[in-house]
Amino acid sequence: MDAPLIDPFQRAISYLRVSVTDRCDFRCVYCMAENMQFLPKKELLTLEELDRMSSAFIRLGVRKLRITGGEPLVRRDILTYFLAMSRHLDSGALDELTITTNGSQLHRFADDLAAIGIRRINVSLDTLDEEKFARVTRWGRLPQVLKGIDAAQKAGIRVKINTVALKGFNEDELFDLQAWCAARDMDLTFIEVMPMGDLGNEDRVGQYWSLKDLRRQLAERFTLTDLAERSGGPARYVRLEESGQKIGFITPLTHNFCESCNRVRLTCTGELFMCLGQEDQADLRQPLRAHPGDDAPLEAAIRGAISRKPKGHDFDYSRSEAGGQMSRHMSHTGG
């Protein structure tokens, strides 16, 4: 049982993304419906179960743990879980514990997160225009997020901004976002919008802004140098030579990043998705709850799931509709 987690394509699984809640205080148009029906509490893993589940993955070779949601910082008593995970940082079993957040609660938690051992976080931010921010998040307030970023930086946490590239929405802010991040010494990663969730009135094909085009625009103003470094995730990076700034590109559509995929996603209900863009999943909650004093069945279930990890996803916008559409919302799988 000490063998590392290796999938059928000889990729070592060392990165686990854990969604701790499906709830969020925003309703971003590409992530969830405005009137979401959230899961009943009894279906969610308790904080103690999240600890046990995460620790099992760490024993099996996971070195990086990213906590997501929904919005992870709206989960009641979430610091208890972060504190529990910090013991794996202290022991050296875990290289990194980090978070993806919308930033709304950072002003409350930044100091505690830094004290626990979180050194960097990703903040999702698609626009610096207050009115547009309210529109894309539906419920969000930009000043609250900026206050949170200030608090995180003051606490010594390295902040990276994640921006979903949305055609007709933030195309005109490309250089404003780049300059704002550079002035604050923050890296910036752009993400192509993915066909996830019940689209409703949201036109994913119409929203899609190819990062090939975005990169071309950057190259007209800056000298771009490709970087070999990877942060453990799907982003590819360049350096803007004139500013020294690092810009990332997550391109599930224009450049499939599956060949080096080292990650799986655990939902807040204990479902393990081996691929963001496939529906196959494994129920890990059942062996966890059925054997409260024995992790062997859980570890066997994890290994069985990894043995089914597919080669890649099927996202495609080359036609007039979104190919590879996933019915579940991004907030369910974990952002």
Residue ranges of the annotated binding site for S-adenosyl-L-methionine are 30, 70, 124, 194
Query: Would you give the distance in Å from CA 179 to the centre of its chain?
Result: 24
DSSP 242: T
Taking only Cα atoms into account, the Rg of the chain, rounded to an integer number of angstroms, comes to 19
Smallest CA-to-CA distance from 306 within 270, 268, 262 is with 262
Around 100, how many Cα atoms within 13 Å sit in the side-chain half-sphere?
Answer: 22
Residues at the binding site for [4Fe-4S] cluster are: 24, 28, 31, 258, 261, 275
Q: Residues comprising the binding site?
A: 17, 24, 28, 30-31, 66, 70, 100, 124, 160, 194, 258, 261, 263-265, 275
Asked whether 333 and 265 are in contact (CB, 8 A), the reply is yes
Pick out the residues of the known binding site for GTP.
17, 66, 100, 160, 263-265
- Cα separation, 210 vs 98, in Å, equals 28
The token pair that represents 307 in the structure block:
């043995």
Which DSSP symbol is given to 149?
H
Q: Say how far residue 324 (Cα) sits from the centre of its chain.
A: 19
Nearest 5°: the CA angle 120, 207, 72 is 30
For residue 306, report the phi and psi dihedrals to the nearest 5 degrees. -65, -30
The torsion region of residue 270 among left (phi > 0), alpha (psi -120 to 50) and beta comes to left
Q: Tokens for 220, please give them.
A: 């007209």
Strand partners, 226: 238
